[in-house]
């Protein structure tokens, strides 16, 4: 997994968590959903990179 991909995945997860938290604080269900989607995107990016890494070895 390249450093750039790790940073992108981490950024997606952090941004998503911030959106989800802000949505909860403001009772904004749409923002909460966006946050959860961003977090899922980060986790999927991690998983895809782990698969790539597994095939490199």
Note the pLDDT of residue 8.
92
**1 Cβ partners below 8 Å, 6+ apart?**
46, 49, 50, 52, 53
Note the pLDDT of residue 22.
98
pTM greater than 0.85 (yes/no): no
Note the pLDDT of residue 30.
98
Q: What is the pLDDT of residues 22-38, one digit of tens each?
A: 999 999 999 999 999 99
Note the pLDDT of residue 1.
58
Q: State both tokens at 51.
A: 């698969």
Between CA 22 and CA 28 the distance in angstroms is 8
Instruction: Mark the ranges of the chain whose per-residue pLDDT is less than 50.
Output: none
Q: Which residue has the tokens 């890494």?
A: 53
Burial letters for 1-22: b for 16+ Cβ neighbours within 10 Å, e otherwise?
A: eeeeeeebbeebbebbeebbee
């Amino acid at each position: 997994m390249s450093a750039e991909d790790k940073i992108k995945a981490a950024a997606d997860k952090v941004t998503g968590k911030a959106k989800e938290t802000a949505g909860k604080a403001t009772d904004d269900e749409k923002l909460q959903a966006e946050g959860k989607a961003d977090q899922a995107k980060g986790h999927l990016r991690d998983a895809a990179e782990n698969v790539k890494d597994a095939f490199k070895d």
